[in-house]
């Protein structure tokens, strides 16, 4: 299921561009205006709910921190659990970590070892079906690490969903899960 042109316009028009942030030459996509626009936020969440109702998901995993917003609302609407994918050192229990490359060095994300049930399995004993969500995909490094984490604990990432994708950065390349982007920015 894809977004209608009218709904796409509602959502896209609610996102503010901030030129030269965080450094010259970058146009930052500010979603705080999407979040504060009740019509646009409801349009987005209605679309995501409709898209994922038939997926029979067990969990939504959201990437720190804006993925927490969209992921927790969607998990509530679908009646399933939400799992935070956090930056290293932010979770209090035993974790599993995955490193990923940055322009200058590495970073890490973590989840609790039992985030998706024992050995990543739901109550049926099958691998838990997980949707990964975040606000933006640029190069895809963080999201690819999060997909690897989901797989590492025995669950299955059925799709990675992004509110926006900076398509010109080719972040979709190398994903081990299908990718869905609500908005693609060329």
Chain segment 12-63, per-residue pLDDT in tens: 999 999 999 999 998 999 999 999 999 999 999 999 999 999 999 999 999 9
Q: Considering only CA atoms, give the Rg of the chain.
A: 16
Buried b (16+ CB within 10 A) or exposed e, 66-92: bbbbbbbbbbebbebbbbbbbeeeebe
The pTM is what? 0.95
- Output the average pLDDT for the chain: 95
Confidence at 105, pLDDT banded by 50, 70, 90: confident
Q: Please tell me the predicted confidence (pLDDT) of residue 103.
A: 67
* Alpha helices (runs of H) in the chain, residue ranges in sequence order: 5-13, 32-35, 38-52, 66-78, 141-152
- Of the candidates 70, 77, 76, 72, the one whose C-alpha atom is nearest the C-alpha of residue 49 is 77
User: How many CB atoms are closer than 10 A to CB 7?
Assistant: 16
Helix (H, G, I), strand (E, B) or coil at 88: coil
- What the chain holds in terms of domains, given with CATH numbers, is 56-184 (3.40.50.2020)
- Whether the pLDDT of residue 152 is over 80: the answer is yes
pLDDT of 186: 86
pLDDT tens readout for residues 169-186: 999 998 999 999 999 998
| Phi, then psi, of 148 in degrees rounded to 5 | -60, -40
Distance between CA atoms of residues 11 and 94, nearest Å = 38
């Amino acid at each position: 299921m894809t977004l209608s042109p009218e709904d796409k316009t509602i959502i896209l028009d609610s996102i503010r561009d901030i030129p030269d942030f965080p450094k010259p030459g970058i146009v930052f996509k500010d979603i705080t205006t999407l979040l504060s626009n009740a019509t646009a936020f409801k349009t987005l969440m209605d679309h995501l709910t409709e898209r994922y109702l038939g997926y029979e998901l067990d969990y939504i995993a959201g990437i720190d921190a804006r993925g927490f917003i969209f992921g927790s609302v969607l998990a509530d609407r679908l009646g399933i659990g939400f799992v935070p994918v956090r930056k290293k050192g932010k979770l209090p229990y035993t974790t599993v970590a995955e490193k990923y490359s940055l322009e200058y060095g590495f970073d890490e994300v973590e989840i609790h070892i039992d985030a998706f049930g024992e050995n990543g399995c739901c109550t049926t004993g099958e691998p838990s079906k997980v949707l990964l969500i975040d606000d933006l995909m640029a190069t895809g490094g963080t999201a690819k690490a999060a997909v690897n984490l989901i797989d590492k604990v025995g669950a299955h990432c059925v799709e990675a969903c992004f509110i926006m994708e900076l398509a010109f950065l080719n972040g979709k390349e190398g994903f081990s899960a299908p990718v869905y982007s609500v908005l693609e920015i060329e």
